[in-house]
Structure 1
Amino acid sequence: MTETSTSSRTASALSLFAALLAGAAAALAALGPRILDVGDVGWMLHGPLGPDPVAYWLTWTFFRRSPWSWPPGLNPDYGLELASGIFYVDIVPLLALPLKALGGLVTVDQYWGPWLVACGMLQGGVAWRLIGLATQDPLARAAGAALFAFQPMMINRMGGHFALVAHWVLLAGLYLCLRDPAGRRQGVAWTLLLGTTALINAYLLAMVAALWGADLLTRGLRDGRIARRLGEVVAVLSVVGAALWLSGFFSLSGPLKPLGPGYGETGLDLLAPFDPVEWGRLLPTLPTLRHWEHGGSYLGAGSFLLLAAALAALATGRLPWRAALARHALLLAALVAMLAFAVTHRPAIGGVMIADLPLPAVVQRLADLLRASERFFWPLAYAALFGAIAAVAARWGGRRAGLLLAAALSLQLVDISAGLARYRALVADAPRVPVERLADPFWAEAAQRYTRIRAVPAGNFGANWEEIARFAARHGLATDAVYHSRVDQDALRALRMAVAAELDAARWEPGTLYVLRDEATHAIVAARYDPSRDLLSEVDGLLVFAPGWHIR
């Protein structure tokens, strides 16, 4: 081995290390080192990060102590008849399943902090590999990977949607689409990637599947062997199906209704990538749509510098960009299709809807399953950033591209520093020991006398779900007071009817404590309970019915 090749390998290794370090730094800059303490759940339960982290912790708390079921991803004590699959609470089954299996060896109260840091590192590492398709310059690869890691698109998800931080699976999909396929290894790589993504998040799975479809057709058309890809299709569908089954995806069989607005309500405003909202400090805020997904598509000032440089490179007319686009036409078509899905049938620009096209009812129902459509902008955004790096490197060489990317990274860090500080403060200010909201002595005694607590009428994300579920989790009671991303509407209706009929007939479910959520249920119970035996009272702001309370 020559001295030059040894030096090149060393530089490459250092470049990769820098990329991984930058990815970890992105997560720690956003939330701080406290998240690495697997025994600290205060930052998740404090509140400022929203209800999702609370639901993650609750799901994991119930899941890790419950007996194994079949399939393994069922979690019946958190949801009872309403819902039980861990897939529908986004707790990353990829980690939850093995950590539950290791429960006798390790104690992990929360794994999402380490998960976020690992996702940052993988974002940097996979971006480094992707950029290697365009240039081998160590600085360009390290700085470019860091720019991918310090993307508001990814970091924004650290504010609550932890599974969605795994943007590295999108970069891996783009890498597989853009590299020269290596025979059967391409099919194996896609199978592993899609199977892994199925154990992380449904939105990411849909995006990676679209990339796989584009690559599958491209390879089939190039070698004229589309029919011979059947084996790969069977392998992918089998592995993805098995992964979904493991995580409880098939536990819901009826119509699935998402929480919140449906498809078309959270679409991508065409100015959203340029709107810094709370993330950027260098550019003016734009009047884009302000739905609950807003802010998740901003690219950052450093990215704009890179894209502008790429346009300048293309303007010279010396790059064969048309040939490159033609070579990856199906990939481009998939990216554009996802962009169209992100924009929805109700396109808007500057906060103003410019059309409202009707959708067939069946299409609307299917699209509602992926209602947070703005997210489908991410693959195109990452592809554009890679294309910009490739154009700059091809026009001016890897070393100059590296200097430009270093400048772009510096600008990016200055631009998003305020957003990072805001997120970091949310975690730093959270108490390590969360304040319990149900403090009356009644609850401690009730936990000794009942095995489950029901909220009536049942409902996903219903009134006081968090207080009830946290009480149940703390004391080992089963509950139907839950927050899931999807529930079976038929099961919900059946549960409400069954519980209402039991209460109407004064048939109290053995071992069950009830929290009454509405006046109608209160009236039914008040007319039928026995004050000498049962307790009907308000405790800590909740209307509680405790059958047999006065019987010792």
Structure 2
Amino acid sequence: MKSIFSLRNNLIIICALILVITFSWHYGSIYLSLGTCIIISVLFLVLNNSINFDKNTIKILRLVISIGIAIIFFITVLSAKVLNTSTIDWLLSRADPAQHFLGWHFFRNEPWKVPPGIITDFNTPTGTSITYTDSIPLLAFFFKIFSRLLPNEFQYLGIWILLCYILQALFGMLFMRRLTSNISLQLLGLMFFIMSPVMLWRAYGHEALMGHWLILASLYLMKKDYKHIYWLLLLSVSLLVHPYLFLMSLLFFFIKICELLFNRLINITSCLIYLTTAGVVILLVLWFIGYFYFRSSGVSDGFGFYSMNINSVFNPQGWSQYVLKDQPNATGGQYEGFNYLGLGILLLMMWGFYSIVTRRSAIHFKGNTCLLVASIILSLIALSNIVTFGDRVLFEIPIPELLLKICNVVRASGRFFWPVYYMIIILSLTIVIKSTKTKGAMVLLIVALSVQFTDLSGKFTEFHEMYASEAKWDNPLKSEIWEKIDGGKYRNIVFVPAVAKKESVAFSMLASKKGMTINAVYTARDDYAKREQYNNELTNSFKKGVWDTKGIYIVDNSLLISTIENKKANDLFLSVDGFNLLIPNGVLDKNFKDFDLKPFNFHYTYGHKINFGSSGDSHVIKGYGWGESEEKNTWTFGKEASLYFVLDKPKKDLMLSIRMSPLTGGSLKEQHITLIANNHKIKELSIASTSDYQFLIPKDIVNNKLKIILNLPNAATPKELGINGDTRVLALSVESLSLD
């Protein structure tokens, strides 16, 4: 007993208990995982000499405790509510998660196709694939096998997040076992992997990218003897999770092969066999998930914008609760380069630096050269060709257009620092454990973990409140008419033009429920050329009154006049829940006979004030060149915007009064406006402040229709004016208007 309760042990026990009790009282349940880890670690330290566990028992205990702590962290920092597979409101109420769920939702309801990963009813007519909706193909394929046994509304994203934390803990423990045989130190070090800020950040809405265990798996295999089957499995699984995680794993695979060849552990023939078999497996998986079915280049703009800032490892970007202040970024997209280590890891790094300077420890590159090479390559990719520090661009390296297109495949390049991020954690833990005696290392790790938790506690609380709250998706389709739509008669939901909007989520759910297709949704990639061609053909045909009787149409405001002019006697053209709904031959459909359906009243009443806020009625007159309505206003988009009125022929000249504000900033002090009414230039003016601006329109140019065009040559993006990172081309914020 004396050896158990020595003076040092007693001090550690007392301090640990005081620490855990104090933090538990202050932070509540979100501290439970760390508090549990500290208590168990101290118990193992105290009981180490009194209880002799055999190796198998230790393995089982280590496994159970690691998984248990990961589960506790998931439940207390996020929430067990998302494990309810029938709960989908928490997904539908958020933009990206809605896309991820809907991709799976359509995929499961379609019959198996060749290749198996394609989805034809979602994003018609081009369709898409399960990988382009970021729906985690690995789980999508598995659950589709049992689709008939699952409820109509089933989601696995909550299960996936929990699985990621469990696997993060298991691979983190594998690394800790390499660093030390002491289970107390192993458990304490494990918490740094579980509490990873860069992993938790993705819980905002990029569930697939929470698979950081794949990064740890890559790093672990780099330190192990080469097993080709393990690498093939890693490459396949990562490709079935997310392309970015796959590319990171692929880079490590190539570097590992080069290392083997350079060290003459394999010959050229073996090297070619390894590369060829890996290439074949990758191509097969790509085919399986439907990657080649569409002619998407997989390219979007953004390389250099969604990059990593040099300050990212110590720039909290809202994650430091008490100490570190946020620092500016050079672009609005550098949130993708979020790589904040946390104050606890920064503390360990300082201790490591001190240990190296005082020669208590040393960094040995022997055996780690390939990891060093990988970290350099990954860091360069993350920084991109536009190197920034804070809000300054240090320098920009010009790159050829062809190379830029290739780089845009990984436009969110800031993510590529994640493996380096974990290498920094592993290196910091290595120096502490190797340069300090066991009890001293325990004290250091407990202190660092406490600092790390305190620093990140604000975000832990935020995520728990977000995930534990009763999320309620507000379906904008309130009218009973939507339920009366016969999915057998009307096969397609068609947006004209085919542009995805936030309301696409509701219409996607309706389409899935009715067994219909939908043509305007959000996907990660698309066949952009084919999509543009389809959109042009669809819009041009619609303007001529050519529409499919098997479709129901959600018509944009810019097409109101042509729709009114071209609709036939048996067609229903209605305003339902704020949407312009065209149902070909709807008058003849018996499902709609019991409804008091009144055609949309497009007729403007003189003197009526139209509100451009989200609860207003501006949708009845807005044409092209407008963004989505905000709470009190709507911004113009682009260099031109239009308005359409159907009204009585005026008996006097009309006064158009518009309350609006200009976008100004930087060198732009005012917005120039040219207003044109029915092809007649009415007035030019420049505005620099919020006010009611008036335009006199002669009665002679107005019949029963009035088309207003606002030419806005000074429209600009807030980003180029230095206001913020917004890349929309804006000019005017319109609050209301009236015509009298």
Amino acid at match of 1:536: F
| Alignment-derived partner of residue 18 in structure 1 | 65
How far apart in 1 are the matches of 2:306 and 2:287? 29
- 1:378-527 alignment, distance < 5 Å: 378-397=418-437, 400-431=440-471, 434-448=473-487, 449-459=489-499, 461-462=500-501, 464-519=503-558, 521-527=559-565
State whether residues 44 and 54 of structure 1, in contact with CA within 8 Å, keep that contact through their aligned partners in structure 2.
yes
| Structure having the larger proportion of residues in helix | 1
Three-state SS of the structure 2 residue aligned to 1:538 is strand
Amino acid at match of 1:422: E
How far apart in 2 are the matches of 1:370 and 1:456? 32
Deviating more after overlay: 331-340 vs 122-131: 331-340
Distance 1:73 1:399, change over 3 A: farther
Distance 1:122 1:463, change over 3 A: closer
| Alignment-derived partner of residue 194 in structure 1 | 235
| Alignment-derived partner of residue 32 in structure 1 | 79
State whether residues 12 and 138 of structure 1, in contact with CA within 8 Å, keep that contact through their aligned partners in structure 2.
no
Structure 1 residue 254: deviation in Å?
A: 4.1
How far apart in 2 are the matches of 1:190 and 1:109? 32
Deviating more after overlay: 219-228 vs 480-489: 219-228
In the alignment, structure 1 residue 156 sits paired with structure 2 residue 201 = yes
Deviations 1:346-373 (A, max 9, x none): 1111222222332211122122221111
Q: Percent identity at matched positions? A: 24
| Alignment-derived partner of residue 272 in structure 1 | 312
Structure 1 residue 214: deviation in Å?
A: 1.2
Q: 1:76 aligns with which of 112, 120, 128?
A: 120
| Alignment-derived partner of residue 128 in structure 1 | 173
Q: 1:539 aligns with which of 572, 576, 590?
A: 576
Deviations 1:132-180 (A, max 9, x none): 222221122111112111011001101100000000000010011123x
How far apart in 1 are the matches of 2:254 and 2:439? 35
Which structure has more RCO (C-alpha within 8 Å, separation ≥ 6)?
Answer: 1
Structure 1 residue 326: deviation in Å?
A: 4.2
Three-state SS of the structure 1 residue aligned to 2:200 is helix
| Alignment-derived partner of residue 55 in structure 1 | 99
Structure 1 residue ranges (4+ consecutive) displaced by more than 6 angstroms after TM superposition: none
| Alignment-derived partner of residue 172 in structure 1 | 217
Three-state SS of the structure 2 residue aligned to 1:354 is strand
- 1:206-225 alignment, distance < 5 Å: 206-223=247-264, 225=266
Structure 1 residue 504: deviation in Å?
A: 4.5
Three-state SS of the structure 2 residue aligned to 1:271 is helix
Amino acid at match of 2:113: S
Structure 1 residue 333: deviation in Å?
A: 1.4
Structure 1 residue 123: deviation in Å?
A: 0.4
How far apart in 1 are the matches of 2:440 and 2:220? 23
Amino acid at match of 2:466: L
Structure 1 residue 12: deviation in Å?
A: 4.4
How far apart in 1 are the matches of 2:486 and 2:463? 36
Deviations 1:402-450 (A, max 9, x none): 443233222222221110111121223333x533211122222234541
How far apart in 2 are the matches of 1:476 and 1:30? 38
Amino acid at match of 2:241: I
Distance 1:475 1:30, change over 3 A: farther
Q: 1:237 aligns with which of 264, 279, 284?
A: 279
Structure 1 residue 501: deviation in Å?
A: 4.4
Distance 1:288 1:251, change over 3 A: farther
Three-state SS of the structure 2 residue aligned to 1:486 is coil
How far apart in 1 are the matches of 2:150 and 2:535? 39
Structure 1 residue 400: deviation in Å?
A: 3.9
Distance 1:496 1:25, change over 3 A: same
State whether residues 462 and 482 of structure 1, in contact with CA within 8 Å, keep that contact through their aligned partners in structure 2.
yes
Larger Cα-atom Rg: 2
Amino acid at match of 1:265: F
In the alignment, structure 1 residue 288 sits paired with structure 2 residue 335 = no
TM-score by length of 2: 0.69
How far apart in 1 are the matches of 2:296 and 2:208? 25
| Alignment-derived partner of residue 331 in structure 1 | 371
State whether residues 53 and 160 of structure 1, in contact with CA within 8 Å, keep that contact through their aligned partners in structure 2.
yes
Amino acid at match of 1:232: Y
The alignment covers a number of residue pairs equal to 535
Distance 1:283 1:250, change over 3 A: farther
How far apart in 2 are the matches of 1:317 and 1:440? 74
- 1:311-350 alignment, distance < 5 Å: 311-317=353-359, 319-321=361-363, 324-350=364-390
Q: 1:249 aligns with which of 286, 291, 294?
A: 291
State whether residues 341 and 376 of structure 1, in contact with CA within 8 Å, keep that contact through their aligned partners in structure 2.
yes
How far apart in 1 are the matches of 2:314 and 2:72? 24
In the alignment, structure 1 residue 99 sits paired with structure 2 residue 143 = yes
Three-state SS of the structure 1 residue aligned to 2:478 is coil
Deviating more after overlay: 375-384 vs 217-226: 217-226
Three-state SS of the structure 1 residue aligned to 2:132 is helix
| Structure having the larger proportion of residues in strand | 2
Structure 1 residue 224: deviation in Å?
A: 5.2
| Alignment-derived partner of residue 146 in structure 1 | 191
Distance 1:416 1:502, change over 3 A: same
Structure 1 residue 4: deviation in Å?
A: 8.3
| Alignment-derived partner of residue 342 in structure 2 | 300
Q: 1:204 aligns with which of 235, 245, 265?
A: 245
How far apart in 2 are the matches of 1:104 and 1:406? 49
